[in-house]
Amino acid sequence: MDDVHDIVFNNGAEETGSSDGMNTSDQAERERSKQCCAELRGLKEQYAYLASDLENVRRRAERERAQLIRSTQERMLRDMLNVMDDLERALVQLTTTAEVSSEQCVAGIQLVQRNFAQMLERYGVTELTQMSHFDPHIHEAIAQVAREDAASGTIIDVFEKGYKLHGELLRPARVSVVA
């Protein structure tokens, strides 16, 4: 950078034909130019440092995000394995015991369902509760029924429940509505 500076100012001195090479205004200009060059070098170094630092922050954030996703998946899958264990115990009980009543089967399945619902709630999954009147934002109409005793848009049957995850729609409820 100084080489360019020297060439520019030496050429200027030769063109003016001054005997000492530079007058005071040229010296002041040369000093300002040196300061600007030094400042530019400093800014380039600072820019390189900041660009490198930004790239490091991006990489670290990506690693942390991937680790967070992995740990969340692991926790959820461990909880789901508990539900799988409950189902396997119920099946073993049904296949090994000849005298299992239907009430015992229902009670066992209800217990597994309750445990699974609690696990979903721990992860922010909640069941949609508004199931009286059709709302296209949270329901999916898969059938229309003609009925005289109900108003148009009234939900008649729920084929699949809808769920929200942390307040946002995870899956719409699949319903039949009055046409």
Banded pLDDT at 16 (limits 50, 70, 90): very low
Task: Specify the pLDDT at position 163.
Answer: 95
Number of folded domains in the chain?
1
**Residue 24 placed within a domain:** no
**Residue 79 placed within a domain:** no
The mean pLDDT of the chain is 86
What mean pLDDT comes out for the span 148-167?
Answer: 93
Task: Specify the pLDDT at position 6.
Answer: 52
**Residue 132 placed within a domain:** yes
**Residue 162 placed within a domain:** yes
pLDDT tens, residue by residue, 93-132:
888 877 777 788 888 889 889 989 999 999 899 999 888 8
Percent of the chain with pLDDT over 90: 56
Contact 114, 108 (CB under 8 A): no
**Residue 139 placed within a domain:** yes
Instruction: Return d(Cα 18, Cα 168) in angstroms, integer.
Output: 79
pTM above 0.75, yes or no: no
- Host domain of residue 152: 127-179
What mean pLDDT comes out for the span 72-86?
Answer: 89
**Residue 73 placed within a domain:** no
**Residue 131 placed within a domain:** yes
**Residue 144 placed within a domain:** yes
Inter-residue long-range contacts of 133-139, CB under 8 Å, 24+ positions, other chains counted: 134/175, 134/177, 137/169, 138/162, 138/169, 138/172, 138/173, 139/172, 139/173, 139/174, 139/175, 139/177
Residue 59 clears pLDDT 80, i.e. is over it = yes
Which CATH number fits the domain that encloses residue 146?
A: 2.30.22.10
